[in-house]
């Protein structure tokens, strides 16, 4: 999905949440500058994912139970932010971590040190955390607004659905989900709204 296709959806999301595109764009510029001279080329994602069966791990409480039923060795694994910690506890290093830096950062740094590609997302509410990219290797920047130098837009909004968009954009043969619970009632109103959007956006990929 190119940005012209994504932009109307993005504008609808901003209206739904009452959020500022200006702040997202400011965050994207900051991340672009932070990654100057050290950003990895997105081609490393295609090398990792193209033609492969991909398992996208969300961070819902059902993740551990879902993983019990899956032979993870069959898949290239993408972790959505906090799912990284669950995977590490099981001795699994994700191949790719998609994060807006809300998860347990020490685990994400450790997974990156052990080979995980870091896809770090900038938005209007995490600018104070973006400096961490200076300590990472194999790091790719993303935004939900217009792409810039060093900062890409593969589509998607929250960590979980951005994993799915990234896998599709990178040519995955198949995409399986684990740790997604769209009907979770034990979360706040904003999270419920994010889950509704995640379901809608992921359904678009599978149309």
Can you give the pLDDT of all 207 residues of the chain as single tens digits? Answer: 789 999 999 999 999 999 999 999 999 999 999 999 999 999 999 999 999 999 999 999 999 999 999 999 999 999 999 999 999 999 999 999 999 999 999 999 999 999 999 999 999 999 999 999 999 999 999 999 999 999 999 999 999 999 999 999 999 999 999 999 999 888 899 999 999 999 999 999 875
Token representation of residue 183: 């009907």
pTM of the model: 0.96
Domain count, the chain: 1
Half-sphere exposure at residue 148, Cβ-oriented, CA atoms within 13 angstroms? 20
Residue 144 CA to residue 19 CA, distance in Å, equals: 12
Residue 14 CA to residue 18 CA, distance in Å, equals: 6
Q: From 145, 148, 183, 179, select the one nearest 163 (Cα to Cα).
A: 179
Q: Which residues contact 98 (CB under 8 A, 6 or more apart)?
A: 78, 79, 80, 81, 119, 121, 142, 159, 162, 163, 166
Half-sphere exposure at residue 167, Cβ-oriented, CA atoms within 13 angstroms? 31
- CA dihedral 134→138→144→145, nearest 10 degrees, is 70
Which residues constitute the domain of residue 52?
A: 3-206
Residue 162 host element (H or E)? helix 159-169
Cα-to-chain-centroid distance, residue 150 = 16
């Amino acid at each position: 999905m190119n940005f012209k296709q994504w932009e109307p959806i993005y504008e609808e999301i901003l209206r739904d949440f009452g959020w500022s595109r200006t702040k997202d764009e400011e965050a994207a510029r900051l991340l672009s500058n932070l990654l100057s001279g050290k950003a990895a080329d997105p081609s490393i994602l295609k090398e990792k994912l193209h033609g492969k069966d991909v398992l996208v791990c969300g961070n819902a409480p059902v993740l551990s139970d879902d993983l019990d039923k899956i032979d993870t060795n069959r898949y290239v694994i993408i972790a959505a932010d906090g799912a990284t910690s669950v995977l590490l506890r099981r001795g699994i290093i994700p191949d790719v971590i998609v994060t807006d830096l809300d998860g347990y950062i020490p685990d994400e740094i450790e997974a990156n040190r052990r080979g995980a590609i870091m896809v770090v997302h900038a938005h209007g509410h995490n600018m104070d955390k973006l400096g961490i990219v200076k300590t990472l290797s194999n790091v790719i920047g993303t935004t939900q607004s217009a792409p810039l130098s060093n900062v890409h837009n593969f589509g998607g909004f929250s960590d979980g659905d951005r994993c799915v968009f990234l896998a599709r954009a990178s040519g995955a043969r198949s995409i399986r989900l684990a740790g997604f619970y769209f009907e979770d009632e034990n979360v706040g109103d904003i999270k419920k709204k994010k889950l509704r959007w995640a379901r809608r956006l992921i359904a678009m990929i599978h149309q």
